[in-house]
Amino acid sequence: MLTLENIVYYYKAQPEKMILEHLSRQFEAGKMYAILGESGSGKTTLLSLMAGLDIPTEGRILVSGEDIRHRNLNEYRRHHVSLVFQNYNLIDYLTPLENVKLGGRKDPMELLQLVGLTEKEARRNILQLSGGQQQRVAIARSIAGDAPILLADEPTGNLDESTALEIIRIFQDLAHTQRKCVIIVTHSSQLAEEADIVLLLKDGKLA
């Protein structure tokens, strides 16, 4: 599904500070991956590369065998990958229903109820919701489309333990039932325990 091939990444202003160093890895459809690592290890950078939001200094990122740079990256992000950002990235003058509707064709109310919002909450302005509720909206938006790859940056970070477990079950279902490739960057040991494969990002490489 998704292949990282000899990925190198560093900031042009600091070429001596290697963030990702000759990193290679294959990610398969139908599995949920958890990527762990200390703060500053490059987890969010790696997620941005896989999402096509940035490009590696060296190496290739392949989707179904094709380098994503040979595609239109906007088209790649629209049709092949969905994202759950750590800071939500919701449109704050819209309601949850309107935000989720932008993510795809699936019924937004059904998705919002799936992640634990009520119909009343779904019709409020985003800014009237708590951080945890906004995170649920972001997750609902990410699963509104048919993208085969789902990337999430700390998706349960603002949720209580019970709600976090419900969200993890949704991710598992997306991987195991809908055959999506689910890749989650997290500090949560609870989430990591539920993943099919746990990877550690350390010294610029995945193990």
Map out the domains of the chain as residue ranges. 29-55+68-206
SS3 content of the chain, % helix, strand, coil (to 5): 35, 25, 40
Per-residue pLDDT of the chain (207 residues; tens, 9 = 90+): 899 999 999 987 777 788 999 999 999 999 999 999 988 889 999 999 999 999 999 999 999 889 998 888 888 888 899 998 878 889 999 999 999 999 988 999 999 998 889 999 999 999 999 888 998 899 899 989 889 999 999 888 877 888 888 889 889 999 999 999 999 999 888 899 999 999 999 999 998
Q: Is 172 exposed, middle or buried (0-12, 13-18, 19+ CB in 10 A)?
A: middle
Burial-class residue 34 by CB neighbours within 10 Å (0-12, 13-18, 19+).
buried
Identify the CA nearest to 157 among candidates 103, 85, 97. Answer: 85
Q: Return the CA Rg of the chain.
A: 17
Q: What is the pLDDT of residue 40?
A: 84
Report field, pTM of the whole predicted structure over 0.95: no
**Residue 109: CA atoms inside 13 Å, Cβ hemisphere, count?**
5
pLDDT in the model for residue 5: 96
Which numeric CATH code is attached to 29-55+68-206?
Answer: 3.40.50.300
